[in-house]
């Protein structure tokens, strides 16, 4: 399975997972021209996208879903609540419900879901498993708290794409007014570096070989802080794989999810 994070942050998110020429796009948080530009930069052919999966309806995850689905003539998968929230924009487009707790077979993939703690209508975390190999990618961002359900869903993943949104100190001293700071740090907000460390430490196992940190705040986090915190936590658990950080401005270089080990790179 090949994974390409075309961008991740408060101004847009999109992740492509591809196997055997069949791709799914998780979230479409960019306009179609920006998405096409990012796909070209990551050597991704958007024509291979056969389905769009939405984690929730917020614009940084769903901004470009309608024109893209129309252009590619592909179905849109999301929770019933997300589809209802986006209904005026999805007229005449094919939609499929993803159960809040359940699985769906989509091409060569098995998609499993569970609800997240976020201030959207019915947001989901999900895993995408390549059915033939069993390689599994877990995606969980925009979650104020890692619930027991999220922890269960993300067990035994080969690759984790996990939110590390903010540093607690930078959030306290940052530019946001108190009400926004409270929302970000609250149970319906976003995961801090500290909480991300605790989550990945609990999910670390021998076959986990790639961790991607996602949805970093422009104003209340830094790549070096997130990388150092999570890298130290993974080292404590004996992790010997790759630690990557997805950015907002440029795509993360695509990578293969396969049953192999990588030398640990703590990024300094």
What are the pLDDT digits (tens) for 84-117? 999 999 999 999 999 989 999 999 999 999 999 9
Q: Minimal CA–CA distance to 104: which of 134, 71, 126, 136?
A: 126
Q: Does residue 267 fall inside a structural domain?
A: no
Range of the domain at 249: 2-256
Domain harbouring 59, CATH code: 3.60.15.10
Per the structure block, which two tokens stand in for 228? 């150092």
* Greatest C-alpha distance within the chain: 51
- Our count of domains for the chain comes to 1
**Number of other residues whose CB lies within 10 A of the CB of residue 146:** 23
Q: Does residue 263 fall inside a structural domain?
A: no
Q: Minimal CA–CA distance to 239: which of 141, 158, 146, 130?
A: 158
User: CA-CA distance, 167 to 172, in Å (whole number)?
Assistant: 9
Q: Does residue 265 fall inside a structural domain?
A: no
Instruction: Say what the pLDDT of residue 50 is.
Output: 98
Q: Does residue 126 fall inside a structural domain?
A: yes
Instruction: Say what the pLDDT of residue 93 is.
Output: 97
Q: Does residue 264 fall inside a structural domain?
A: no
Dihedral, CA atoms, 65, 70, 73, 77, nearest 10 degrees? 30
Q: Does residue 262 fall inside a structural domain?
A: no
How long, in residues, is the chain? Answer: 268
- 242's CB contacts (< 8 A; 6+ apart) are 209, 210, 211, 255, 262, 264, 265
Beta carbons of 54 and 27 less than 8 angstroms apart: yes
- Cβ-based burial of 259 (10 A; exposed 0-12, middle 13-18, buried ≥19): exposed
Strand order in the sheet with 136-140: 102-106, 109-115, 124-130, 136-140, 159-163, 210-214, 242-245
Show the low-confidence residues of the chain (pLDDT under 70): 259-268
Instruction: Say what the pLDDT of residue 208 is.
Output: 96
Instruction: Say what the pLDDT of residue 260 is.
Output: 59
115 — phi, psi (to 5°)?
A: -70, 155
**Number of other residues whose CB lies within 10 A of the CB of residue 31:** 14
Q: Does residue 207 fall inside a structural domain?
A: yes
Instruction: Say what the pLDDT of residue 103 is.
Output: 96
Instruction: Say what the pLDDT of residue 261 is.
Output: 46
∠141-29-243 over CA atoms, to 5°?
Answer: 40
Instruction: Say what the pLDDT of residue 258 is.
Output: 83
């Amino acid at each position: 399975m090949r994974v390409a994070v075309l961008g991740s942050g408060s101004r847009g998110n999109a992740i492509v997972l591809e196997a055997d020429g069949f791709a799914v796009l998780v979230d479409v948080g960019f306009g179609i021209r920006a998405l096409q530009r990012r796909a070209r930069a990551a050597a991704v052919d958007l024509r291979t996208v056969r389905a769009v999966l939405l984690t929730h309806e917020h614009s940084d995850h769903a901004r470009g879903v309608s024109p893209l689905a129309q252009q590619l003539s592909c179905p849109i998968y999301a929770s019933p609540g997300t589809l209802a929230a986006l209904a005026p924009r999805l007229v005449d487009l094919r939609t499929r419900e993803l159960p809040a707790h359940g699985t769906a077979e989509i091409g060569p993939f098995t998609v499993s879901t569970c609800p997240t703690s976020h201030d959207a209508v019915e947001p989901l975390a999900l895993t995408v498993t390549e059915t033939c190999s069993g390689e599994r990618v877990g995606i969980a961002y925009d979650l104020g708290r890692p619930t027991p359900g999220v922890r269960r869903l993300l067990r035994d993943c080969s690759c984790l794409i996990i939110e590390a949104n903010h540093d607690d100190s930078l959030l306290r001293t940052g530019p946001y007014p108190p009400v926004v700071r409270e929302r970000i740090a609250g149970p319906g907000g976003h995961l801090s570096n500290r909480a991300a460390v605790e989550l990945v430490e609990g999910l670390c196992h021998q076959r986990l070989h790639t961790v991607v940190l996602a949805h970093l705040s422009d104003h209340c986090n830094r790549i070096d802080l997130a990388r150092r915190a999570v890298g130290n936590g993974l080292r404590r658990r004996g992790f010997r794989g790759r630690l990557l950080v997805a950015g907002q401005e440029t795509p993360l270089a695509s990578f293969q999810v396969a049953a192999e080990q990588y030398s640990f790179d703590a990024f300094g």
